Amino acid sequence: MTRRFETTDIYEDLRIKLTTAYFEPGSKLKPSELQARYGRSANTVREVLFRLSTVGLVLFEDQRGFRTPPSETQRQNDLTSFRITLEQEGATQSMRNGGLEWEARLTAAHHKLSHIETRIAKSDDITEALNPWCAAEWGFHETLVSASDSPLLRSTFKAIYDQFRQQLVTKERNYGYFSNNVAEHARIVECALAADADDLRQAIYDHLSRNLLVRQAGVKSSAI
């Protein structure tokens, strides 16, 4: 018997699939085909796809229906630039506001992510750890900005992060895995715990700037 998913479960399952290369870029998403997976009507699936379109993970056009965004270099650049700005500001605010409790959560999130990435580095097949890795990646970066005093920044960061990962996590890009991630994440934590705002901004920029069309020298930072 097919499990009957609640709409929140359908949303989360599709969000994960859309950000972990389950669907090819630019592919059609047909509610009539997806409904069997979730045990709900095509209209229910269509409503969820509409919700996903409001956060940029799905495109909708009249007469053409739903599809995943294409993989585009310029879009990747724009999302990277915006993510850097949001993450630098959110992390700096969190560093100033979060205190010992935030430092402990950040350290724990990094420990989990580092463990998974170290295991990936020893394996020839990233797909076995793809979902746990992507979840731990989000857990680390979400924790990094979680003590920001701007709810708007945090919610915007979530939307941009997901769109960024959707562009980055593809089979052609080895699902977004990069062998130097472990060292770069460790550097971010080191700067955050040292309460050095300039170095923290630089570490975040260094971690993400390989995805820009033109990598600039020096600290890339700006206030929101």
- DSSP for residue 170: -
How many Å apart are CA 91 and CA 98, to the nearest integer?
10
The pLDDT of residue 171 is above 90: no
Q: What's the whole-model pTM score? A: 0.91
For the chain, give the mean pLDDT: 92
pLDDT band at 223 (very low <50, low <70, confident <90, very high): very low
Looking at residue 101, its amino acid is: E
* Cβ atoms within 10 Å, residue 33: 11
Mean pLDDT within 12-19: 97
Q: What values do phi and psi take at 216, rounded to 5?
A: -95, 155
pLDDT tops 90 at residue 187:
yes
Q: What is the pLDDT of residue 78?
A: 97
Of 12, 22, 16, 18, the C-alpha closest to 69 is 18
Residue 27: count other Cβ atoms within 10 Å of its Cβ. Answer: 12
Interval 110-124 mean pLDDT: 91
DSSP character for 127? G
pLDDT tens, 21-71?
999 999 999 999 999 899 999 999 999 999 999 999 999 998 889 999 999
Q: Is the pLDDT of residue 124 over 50?
A: yes
